Amino acid sequence: MNADLGLKTDPQADLPLYRQIATQLAERIRDGTLPPGFRLPPTRKLAAALGTNRNTVVAAFELLTTNGTLLSVVGRGTFVADAPAPRPMAALEPGKFPWSSVISRTTESGSLQVADRLRRRVAQAPERDLINLQRMEPSPDLLPAEDLRRCVAHALKTEGAAALGYAPREGLPRLRTAIADDLARRGVPVAAEELLVTTGSQQALDLVARILIEPGDTMLVQNATYTGAIHVLAAAGARLVGVADDDEGPDMATLDRLGASGAKGLYLMPTGQNPTGRTISGPRREALVAWSRRFGIPLIEDDFSADLHLDDGPAPVALRALDSQVLHIGTFSKRLIPALRIGYLAFPKALKGHLTTLKHAMDLGSSLVLQHALAEFLQRGYLRTHLRHVLPEYRARRDAMERGLHKHLPSGMQWSRSQRGVVTWIGLPPDLDADEAFSRALDLGVLVSPDALFTVHGQQRGLRLTFCAETPRRIMRGTQRLGQALRACSRTRATGGAALAVV
C-alpha cells in the first residue's frame, strides 16, 4: 500500500514520522497523484505497510484535516477533500430524521475538529486550578468595568429608548467618527464613511470571506496563523495555501510564485501576530503592498493587537496607511473589553454596497446601546487612560514569562520576545511533539496551545503561550510546570515511556 502511494519514512530524519507522512501526502495531493475524492487506505492498513504504529498515521491524517486537505467521513473513510464522495441518504427510521445526510460538511472542517478535540481533552481533565496560558483575553482586574458602566448609563440617560432599537446598518455615525479619529491617532487615514461597525473582528473577517470567496477558491495565509481565520475561511469554502515566513515577514519569492494562482486574498496579522508574536518589517510591508497591486490580490490586514506596544519605539506603519485598497480589520477585544463584541472594517469604497447589504442581512445591526457606550468611552478619553494602566501590567506579565522561560525550559529551546501583542511562541525541536507537550502540560496544571490549532501545512512546530489572562506570579508557576512537561516528553522519547509526577 505504501508503494501505491509512494510513501517512505525515515526514523533518522529530523521530522517526526507522522509529519513525514503528512508532508508526503500533501505533496502527492498538490501534484495530482492523489486526485480530489481519492479514498485513502485505512489507518491500520497504511500503518502496517509503513512499518509504524496506527497512532502515527492517525496523527498525520489529523494534521492534514486542519486545513481541509483531507476529509474524514465517519463510517466511510478518509478522502482527499476538494471533491469528497457524496454522502448517501440515511435510511428513514420511524420517529427519526436523517440529519447526517443534510448537515453541511462545513461542520466537519479539519480545523474545527482539532479545536473540538483539544477542548474535550481540557474538559476531561481533573478539576483543578489550571494556570491558563492559552486564553486570549485580559484578566478581570484589567477590565475598566466602572468606566464602561458610566458610559452605558450615560447612553441610556441621554438616548433613552432610542438606544434600544436597531442600529444603522453601517454602524452608529458617532461611533464611526470616533473610530476614524482613533485610527488617525495611530497613523491610519480612514474616513468615517469607509468604516463598517461589526460584531467583533470575527464578523468583519466573515464578511470579507463571504464577499470574496466561492467554494474552492484559494486564499493565502501565513503558515502559522490565527485559528479563527482558519475556521472562517475554511467555512467559506476556501482552499488555504500557507506562505512561509522569513525574518521580515511572508517570503516574497513564494508570493511571487503564487501571484498567478488566482488567489482571492492574502490574510495577515502584520503586528504582534497570533500565534508567533512576530511583526512584519517596514520594507516588507511596502513589498507586500506592491505585490498586491501587481497581481491584483487584496490584502486583508487584521490589526488585533492595536496599541499593545510593550517596548519603546515607533509603531509600525499599517498596511492600510500604505494603500487605501487594503481591507483593515480592528477590534476592541484585546486592548479594552472582550464583551463589547465591537469590531470594525475599513474598506475600499468600491465594496461599500456589497458589505453593508450583506452585514444587514446577517444580523440587522450590531448592538446599538453598546455602540453608544463605546462612542462615549472613546470621546471621553477613557481608552487612553485605560492603556496607560494596562500596558505596564502587560509588560510586567511579559517579563515574568521571559524570566520563567529562561529559568525553567530545557536548555537549547528558543522562543520569541513579545514586543507587541500578548503572545509568545516557543519553537519545538524535532524530537518534541506539540500535542504530547500540550497533554503533559495539561496533566501538570498548565494550559497552552499546540501548533495544530494554527498551522496550515503543519510546518510551524511549537506552542503558543499568552500572558494576558494570568498574574506574573501564576505565569512564573506556569512556566515551571511547562518546563517539567517538556522534560518529561524528552525522557519519554529517550526511554520509550516514563511516569509523569504532578507537583
Which pLDDT does position 174 carry in this prediction? 97
Contacts (Cβ under 8 Å, ≥6 apart) of 288: 249, 250, 252, 255, 266, 268, 280, 299, 319
Which pLDDT does position 493 carry in this prediction? 61
Cell of residue 46, nine digits: 497504511
CB neighbour class for 501 (10 Å; exposed up to 12, middle 13-18, buried from 19): exposed
Cα distances (Å, whole numbers) of residue 501 to 314, 439, 485: 46, 13, 10
Cα distances (Å, whole numbers) of residue 182 to 170, 175, 373, 377: 18, 10, 16, 12
Residues 240, 233 contacting (CB under 8 angstroms)? yes
d(CA 164, CA 174): 16
Which pLDDT does position 6 carry in this prediction? 78
Which pLDDT does position 35 carry in this prediction? 86
Cell of residue 394, nine digits: 502587560
Which pLDDT does position 375 carry in this prediction? 97
Residue 1: what residue type?
A: M
- Ordered by where they begin, the domains of the chain are 2-82 (1.10.10.10), 116-141+385-495 (3.90.1150.10), 146-380 (3.40.640.10)
Contacts (Cβ under 8 Å, ≥6 apart) of 399: 472
Cell of residue 203, nine digits: 464578523
Which pLDDT does position 358 carry in this prediction? 94
d(CA 320, CA 432): 39
Which pLDDT does position 98 carry in this prediction? 72
Which pLDDT does position 503 carry in this prediction? 28
**DSSP 8-class letter at 456:** S
- With CA atoms as reference, report the closest residue to 69 among 55, 54, 56, 82: 82
Which pLDDT does position 85 carry in this prediction? 46
Cell of residue 228, nine digits: 479563527
Contacts (Cβ under 8 Å, ≥6 apart) of 122: 130, 442, 447
Which residues are 245's β-sheet partners?
A: 250
Per residue in 124-175, pLDDT (tens digit) is 877 778 999 999 999 999 999 999 999 999 999 999 999 999 999 999 999 9
**Which segments of 297-381 does DSSP mark as H helices, in order?**
319-322, 352-363, 368-379
Q: Which residues of the chain fall short of a pLDDT of 50?
A: 1, 3, 84-85, 497-503
d(CA 398, CA 417): 9
Cell of residue 69, nine digits: 486537505
pTM, to two decimals = 0.80
Which pLDDT does position 354 carry in this prediction? 94
Cell of residue 298, nine digits: 487584496
Which pLDDT does position 412 carry in this prediction? 84
